[in-house]
C-alpha cells in the first residue's frame, strides 16, 4: 500500500487486489479507503515536496479507476478516499493562516 501511486508495479498489484472478489467487501473497501493513510510519513504535517506528488498520483489513479467500477462497495470507497485526498491536498496548497 505504501507504494500505490508511486510505483507502477504496486499500482498493478493494487488494481488486482481491489477487484479480487475473493476478498471480502470490507477488505476491498479498506484497501481503497487506506489510500489516504498508508505511505504518508506524518499525516498531521503534510509536506508539499514529500506528500503532494503521492496525493496527486493517488487522485489520478482514483479518477482512472472509479468511472469503470461496477462494484458498489468499490465505488463508495473511491468516493470516500477521493474526498479525503482532496482535503489533504488542500491542507498543503491552501494552508490556513493564523491572523
Task: Express each pLDDT in 5-41 by its tens digit.
Answer: 999 999 999 999 999 999 999 999 999 999 999 999 9
Residue partners of 10: CB distance under 8 A and separation at least 6 = 2, 3, 4
Residue partners of 66: CB distance under 8 A and separation at least 6 = 74, 75, 78, 79, 82
Task: Say how many Å lie between the first and final Cα of the chain, rounded.
Answer: 38
Question: How does pLDDT run across 48-94, given as a tens digit for each residue?
Answer: 999 999 999 999 999 999 999 999 999 999 999 999 999 999 999 99
pTM: 0.93
Calpha distance 23→84 (Å, rounded): 23
Calpha distance 63→49 (Å, rounded): 22
Calpha distance 49→39 (Å, rounded): 14
Amino acid at each position: 500500500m505504501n507504494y500505490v501511486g508511486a510505483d507502477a508495479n504496486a499500482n498493478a498489484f493494487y488494481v488486482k487486489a481491489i477487484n479480487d472478489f475473493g476478498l471480502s467487501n470490507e477488505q476491498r473497501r479498506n484497501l481503497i479507503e487506506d489510500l489516504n493513510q498508508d505511505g504518508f510519513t506524518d499525516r498531521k504535517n503534510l509536506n508539499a515536496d514529500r506528500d503532494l506528488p503521492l496525493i496527486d498520483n493517488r487522485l489520478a489513479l482514483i479518477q482512472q479507476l472509479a468511472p469503470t467500477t461496477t462494484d458498489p462497495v468499490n465505488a463508495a470507497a473511491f468516493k470516500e478516499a477521493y474526498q479525503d485526498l482532496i482535503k489533504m491536498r488542500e491542507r498543503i496548497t491552501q494552508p490556513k493562516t493564523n491572523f
